[in-house]
Amino acid sequence: MEILAKDRYEEFDRFCDNHPKGAFQQSPRWGLVKTEWANEIVVSRNDAGEIVGGIFVLIRKIGFKSMMYACRGPVCDYTDRAVVMDLLDGVKQLAKKYKAYTFIMDPLVLAEDAATIEMFKSCGLDIQEHAAFHDTIQPRYNYMLNYIKDYTTDMLLAKFNSGTRYYIRYPFKHGVVCKNMGLDGLDDFYKIYSETGTRQHFTVRPKEYFVKMLNGLGDNCRLYMCYYEEENKPLCGGVAVQYGGTTSHVYGCSTDEMRKLYPTYALQWELMSWAIEGGCHTYDMQGVAPRPEDSEELYRILNFKSHFSGAVIETAGEFTFTFDKLYSKLIDTALKIRAKLKHK
């Protein structure tokens, strides 16, 4: 086990980007986005000194103690219990260093993967199985196209039904253009994103957050905008990240205007085309709700995403170490009270 020095972070980034379990939230560059958190990386090496596993941990002070969070970590072969234990030993060292009251990780482990769940539990981690919809940091249900490896855009288009193909082609034939804009499109994106947040009742991140995403993740992050070309009118936009063989549509927004031009289909098609161009095996459309009682808005979004011939993926949820049960309970109670007051 090794707590990686900052000047060796690039070594782990290369490992993570090329590993089957790699995720952009485990890239050291994610720390350039999450600047309000400290971060550390724990790695495990083989006898040749090569990295065989790692975990990027965000650390944030809450009151007198800290919470530690590894989003989509660890990055390793989950069947290799020795490597997992090695990484978790490093996590425990970090917990002492930062006086952590809890550690949370949410690897992309399917809810049906009983063997991996049991392996993590045998390492001393707790899991709240079948957690309530709003009780996890990341959505437990994502909509994914996890079959696109070696696909061409023609092959992908043929995978969709005739209605979806029609909606994809329609906007391009009727004056809609979709462009990779980067920071040049941020003002247009943020205006629509803020309006969408108000309309759909989600928390709107500050504009600076997207500046940090685009700068920190570099060529791995793109901001696409769709415009009605004749009037240069912005209609919808999306921020996506391509990393570790997956392209993830992380943030999206749209106006209520010109919906009959189907610009959101044009946007999805451009993002999927980027995924295929990048040789990805998965296009992740991100969070959905399988039932309307979980979230009416995310359930409605599922109806839209279902046009793209993917599948709802249910993850196991969060695995945790609790180092101070009383402090953890106090913080959880305080956060729940704050959330209730916020929604009154």
Residue 199's pLDDT band (cuts 50, 70, 90): confident
Residues 136 and 15 in one domain: yes
Number of domains in the chain: 2
Residues 134 and 275 in one domain: no
Residues 96 and 227 in one domain: no
Angle at the Cα of 83 from the Cα atoms of 77 and 86, rounded to 5 degrees: 150
Residues 130-182 pLDDT 10s: 788 788 889 999 999 999 999 999 999 999 999 999 999 999 999 999 999 99
Range ranked top by mean pLDDT from 21-35, 116-130, 224-238:
21-35
Residue 125 main-chain phi, psi, to 5 deg = -80, 145
Residue 344 scores a pLDDT above 50: no
Please say whether the beta carbons of 108 and 72 come within 8 A.
Answer: yes
Residue 183 scores a pLDDT above 60: yes
Residues 120 and 159 in one domain: no
* Contact residues for 122 (Cβ-Cβ < 8 A; gap 6+): 81
**What residue spans of the chain are helical by DSSP H?**
9-17, 81-98, 114-122, 153-159, 162-173, 186-200, 207-217, 263-277, 296-305, 325-342
> Does an H or E element contain 259, and which?
none
Please say whether the beta carbons of 251 and 193 come within 8 A.
Answer: yes
Residues 135 and 202 in one domain: no
Residues 24 and 87 in one domain: yes
Residues 21 and 166 in one domain: no
* Strand partners of residue 284: 144, 248
At 305 the three-state DSSP class reads: helix
Residues 132 and 14 in one domain: yes
Residue 211 scores a pLDDT above 90: yes
Residues 57-70 pLDDT 10s: 999 999 899 999 99
Residues 219 and 282 in one domain: yes
Residues 171 and 229 in one domain: yes
Domain that holds residue 33: 2-140+315-342
Please state the rounded mean pLDDT for residues 116-120.
97
CATH value at residue 156: 3.40.630.30
Angle at the Cα of 265 from the Cα atoms of 261 and 267, rounded to 5 degrees: 105
pLDDT at 340: 56
Residue 76 scores a pLDDT above 70: yes
Q: What is the pTM of this model?
A: 0.93
Residues 112 and 190 in one domain: no
Residues 102 and 226 in one domain: no
pLDDT at 203: 83
Q: How far is the C-alpha of 210 from the C-alpha of 204, rounded, in Å?
A: 11
